Every structure is written in C-alpha cells, then in structure tokens.
A = this chain, B = another copy of it.
Amino acid sequence: MFKATIKIVLRPSILDVQGKAVLHAVHDLGYAGADQIRIGKHVEVILNVADKAEAHRQTDEICKKLLANTVMEDYTFTLEQI
C-alpha cells in the first residue's frame, strides 16, 4: 500500500482570483505584511498496489486524467509506503 500526497497549484502565469480575495480578507484582518496568496488543492490517495513504480504510474495518470487541469495547473506528488 502506498499513500500518494498530491499538490495541485495554478500555474504561476494564471491569475488566482480566489487567492486575491483571501489576500484582501487577510489585509482587512490587519496583516499588512501579507504580499501574495495562492490557493491550490491537497489530495491524499491510498493506493493498494504492490510496487512503487506502479503506484507512481497510477498516481500520475489519476492526476492527469482527473485531478489536475493541466492547461492551468501544475501538480507534484510524493509516495510513501504504508
């Protein structure tokens, strides 16, 4: 069994409107030092497969096909045997 920890973030060139909205709220709370906020997704997948190479392949495919919009988003992941 492997646990894949996936981070999906908007590409740097894409405007993050959700992040901008949160930044306004952070400023309203009085944190003037906050300069930039970007918001992404954090996904944990438990995969019941035998070897790490297979877990890597399946996680990469799941990201590409389902979790990430690769036109606008980048993803990275780590695998951990559990």
Q: Which A positions have Cβ atoms within 8 angstroms of B?
A: 1, 7-9, 19, 22, 25-26, 29, 31, 33-49, 58, 61-62, 65-67
Q: Is the CB of B62 within 8 A of A9?
A: no
24 contacts between A and B (CB under 8 A): A19-B43, A25-B66, A26-B66, A29-B65, A31-B61, A33-B49, A33-B58, A34-B45, A34-B58, A34-B62, A35-B46, A35-B48, A36-B46, A37-B43, A38-B44, A39-B42, A39-B43, A40-B41, A40-B42, A40-B43, A40-B44, A41-B41, A41-B42, A42-B42
Q: Oligomeric state, in number of copies? A: 2
Give the residues in chain B near A7, CB-CB below 8 Å.
Answer: 42
A41, A43, A45, A65 — most chain B CB neighbours (10 Å): A45
